[in-house]
Amino acid sequence: MAIETAENGAADLAKAGEFLQLLRDGQPRTRAELAQLTGMARSTIASRVDTLLQLGYVSPVGDSTSTGGRPPSLFALNPNARVVIGADLGATHARAVLANLSGEIKAEFWEPLPIAAGPEKVVGWLAETIGKLLREAGCETSCLAAIGVGLPGPVEFQTGRPVMPPIMPGWDGYDLPARLHQDYDVPVLVDNDVNIMALGEHKANLPDDQDILFVKVATGIGAGLVAHGQLMRGAQGTAGDLGHVCVPGGPDTLCTCGNVGCLEAVASGPAIARKLALEAEPGQNIPSLVAQRVRDGDAESIAAVRQAGRDLGSVLATCVSLLNPSVIVVGGSLAQVGEHLLAGIREVVYQRSLPLATKHLRIIASTAGSHAGVLGAVALAAEFALSPTAIEHSTHDRIR
């Protein structure tokens, strides 16, 4: 009998988790509206709502208009039921935020920390910073539902391990989730930084655009793909590795991957700096140095960035014909140069791609800017934290 009761309780939690998906849009609804929407019996609706109320994932938000008698109660997702961590570990920086389930940032830390410092130092910083974020937001560790992390290299999403990342010495195969599990017993989701930037831009600023190509231009070059509203990683998680596509008619410049003529070797921040013979001071961000020269009005730098935009455009024109996105978003530290980079991209894409593919295509700068990565990491963590599976497991742990 005890086993049967436990099984029934697990089934109820799983069904409550599935039911919560109806309320994730944040729109308040009555029990009657939920019954009409789902076709479920009112008694079933009442049971699901009561379970979610007890767990804190749903809260009452007032009464709707009465048609006679007592006004029916409205219920909606409680975004403050749990918190999540989003971390963007870049080539030269580390940023981490604490946010609620709706993605509202409550606390944030940033530090100039190079990824080449190695996994133990960088992930050690992240583990310590998560504790600081929780304390600053006044949250207990038990409130933490999930952690999302972006890395500047190829990541096997299922395991969260980087795979032969070219600018991350010592990181190949590193078990980042296992390291964070030493301090925080919550799910850890790790992805390529450009994927989470694409997700962040989509969730925060382009929710109505279902087909997005996000291009990061910084120390390296990469792309994140959103198709039909979903992040596309490909069979092995390497979809969007734009930086190592050969530039048509470009120079045979040696790339860090060992090939020649790659987009990253021709149009990235360091590539432009080499053309301009610019030398950064220790700890200085090279793409930001190039961007500053452009903002200062240096004609040679402006011309070099415009040409980099054309080289990008020659590769992106193929992507537009193949993927037909509704918008191309350009982010990363080199996007600080403003319209000069975008002008070069537009010049080639609109010329080379078919008119039907570019009829409504927008090529714009990232609105989220330097926060695109952490916003995407938060969205990745919150998406998992609100999934039926996660709710079933987390509530099991709380009830045991």
Q: Which CATH architecture has domain 83-197+374-399?
A: 2-Layer Sandwich (3.30)
Phi/psi region, residue 234 (left: phi>0; alpha: psi -120 to 50; beta: rest), is left
CATH superfamily entry for domain 200-369: ATPase, nucleotide binding domain (3.30.420.40)
Query: Quick check: 391 pLDDT over 70?
Result: yes
**What DSSP string runs through 305-347?**
HHHHHHHHHHHHHHHHHHH--SEEEEESGGGGGTHHHHHHHHH
Strands 155-156 and 161-162 turn out to be: antiparallel
CATH 3.30.420.40 domain position(s) in the chain: 83-197+374-399, 200-369
- Confidence band for 24, pLDDT divided at 50, 70 and 90: confident
Tell me the C-alpha distance between 168 and 150, whole Å.
13
Q: Which tens digit of pLDDT belongs to each residue from 227-253?
A: 999 999 988 888 898 999 999 998 999
C-alpha distances out from residue 260 to 44, 140, 239, 255, 372, Å = 63, 51, 20, 5, 30
Q: Which tens digit of pLDDT belongs to each residue from 57-83?
A: 999 886 655 454 455 688 899 999 999
CB 26 within 8 A of CB 102: yes
Q: Which tens digit of pLDDT belongs to each residue from 303-358?
A: 999 999 999 999 999 999 999 999 999 999 888 887 899 999 999 999 999 899 99
Kindly state the average pLDDT of the residues 282-299: 85
- What's the CATH class of domain 2-77? mainly alpha
Query: Quick check: 33 pLDDT over 70?
Result: yes
CA contacts within 13 A on the Cβ side of 25: 5
What's the pLDDT score for residue 65? 52
* 3-state secondary structure string across 361-397: CEEEECCCHHHHHHHHHHHHHHHHHCCHHHHHHHHHH
Average pLDDT, the chain: 88
Kindly state the average pLDDT of the residues 30-45: 87
